[in-house]
Amino acid sequence: MRVNAHHAAGGDSIKAVILLAISWQLVGCAANQRPLGPETPDVFRDTTSTFSIGQAVVYGPPASAALPRPATGDFSVSHPRVNNFVATYQTRWRGFYQGALDRGGRYLPAMTRVLRRESVPEELAYLPIVESGFRVQAVSHAGAVGPWQFIRETGRRYGLRIDQYVDERCDPVKSTHAAARYLKDLYAQFGDWHLSLAAYNTGEMNIERLLERSKADGYWDMSDRGYLPNETRDFVPQFLAAVRIAQAPEAYGFDPPSGDPIPYDLVHIDRSVALKTVAQIVKTSEAKISDLNPALRRGVTPPQGYTVRVPKGTKEIVKLALARMHHDAAQVLPAPRNASTQFARTHKVKRGETLGAVAKRHKVSIASLKKANGIGTANHITAGSVLRIPGRVATTTTVTTPKQPTRVASRRKH
């Protein structure tokens, strides 16, 4: 604290000012060094594991399109609570942190590029360590989903598609765009990254109310005075500790991330296609294609079409195969060898007609109709195609084997 000699009124006044400064410093140090142990992390439901930290409950209208570039975040704060969480990551949460760091190795380069493009600090790419442990399918007890833990309402507000076929909260790239825009809006509101992160966790309206009630001078003042909920009070120092370690993992006894990004191409599929079919085209496993497309919830692309990721270098192969399947709206099947199992009836599909309607009309099951025509999991049929109706031919019936094989409905949706 600086003392202006021109405003001192003698020796006693100077002593009083010095004593006041010393007292102020002691009070500040005591407030900042309260011994507070870290809390146990929240537990998330996940198909692969159930351990993670933090939860994002997010609200607020998007206003990011008109925002200026935010200032660089101060993410190198040295505070007792940050130091406590660094120690906790190194001991009690060591396995969790190393696992999160390894999973993050797959996504961090792409996430960092997105944040840079959205003009927010690149250090925020480590926020999913605290939010989800970099599990793209993580689900919180409050229904927040994905690496950035968006609830449904906020995910949709920031442009993510969420429906019966797709949940883009699980997409590591698209959800990062949404998170960057939301964080940018929070920074525009609070002008401080620590307060913005607190609002990301508990909601901006909560932080606004707490700031007004506490008259606090920023996040740390509000936190040290006990105004924040426990989870939010831990959320920011957890993140700052995670950033500190991630920027120099070996210095803190961790291995560098072992997961590497998987290169991929993008292919737009204009109809419903099973990921299993895509995997067969590129000669890989369905699990690998699903892993590249975690937003697809049902193992198929939506009927209206969707852009999917395929292994690098296979884009043209997939496009060619799908174009060929699309052009061949009716697949040619060889005529049956045994006349006793031939199909006595056929049905030409009319516009708007469904597989169920055809089955009902000819009094056969949908399953047998699909089997007779080589139709896979999809139930869609194309107008103008010809279906074979299952059922044995009577022995008194004379069957003429056609010279040309019968054309049946394609397995593809259009």
Give CA–CA dist 181/120, Å, rounded. Answer: 9
Instruction: Output the pTM of the full model.
Output: 0.65
Q: In the chain, which residues have pLDDT < 50?
A: 1-71, 329-342, 392-414
Look at residue 345 in the predicted model and tell me its pLDDT.
Answer: 78
Q: Which helix H or strand E contains 269, and what residues bound it?
A: strand 264-269
Look at residue 74 in the predicted model and tell me its pLDDT.
Answer: 78
Look at residue 374 in the predicted model and tell me its pLDDT.
Answer: 66
**Taken in order 241, 245, 248, 251, is the CA torsion positive or negative?**
positive
Look at residue 362 in the predicted model and tell me its pLDDT.
Answer: 85
Look at residue 337 in the predicted model and tell me its pLDDT.
Answer: 46
| 158-166 long-range Cβ contacts below 8 angstroms, 24+ apart | 158/62, 158/182, 161/295, 163/302, 164/297, 164/298, 165/296, 165/297, 165/298, 165/300, 165/301, 165/302, 165/303, 165/306, 166/295, 166/296, 166/297, 166/302, 166/306
Give the CATH number of domain 36-252: 1.10.530.10
Residue 156 one-letter amino acid: R
Q: Are 383 and 343 in contact (CB under 8 A)?
A: no
pLDDT tens figures, 360-390: 888 888 777 777 776 766 566 777 677 778 8
Look at residue 19 in the predicted model and tell me its pLDDT.
Answer: 41
Give CA–CA dist 121/73, Å, rounded. Answer: 6
Look at residue 405 in the predicted model and tell me its pLDDT.
Answer: 36
pLDDT tens figures, 312-334: 999 999 999 998 886 554 444 44
Domain 330-409, CATH homologous superfamily name and number: LysM domain (3.10.350.10)
Residue 397 one-letter amino acid: T
Give CA–CA dist 122/363, Å, rounded. Answer: 62
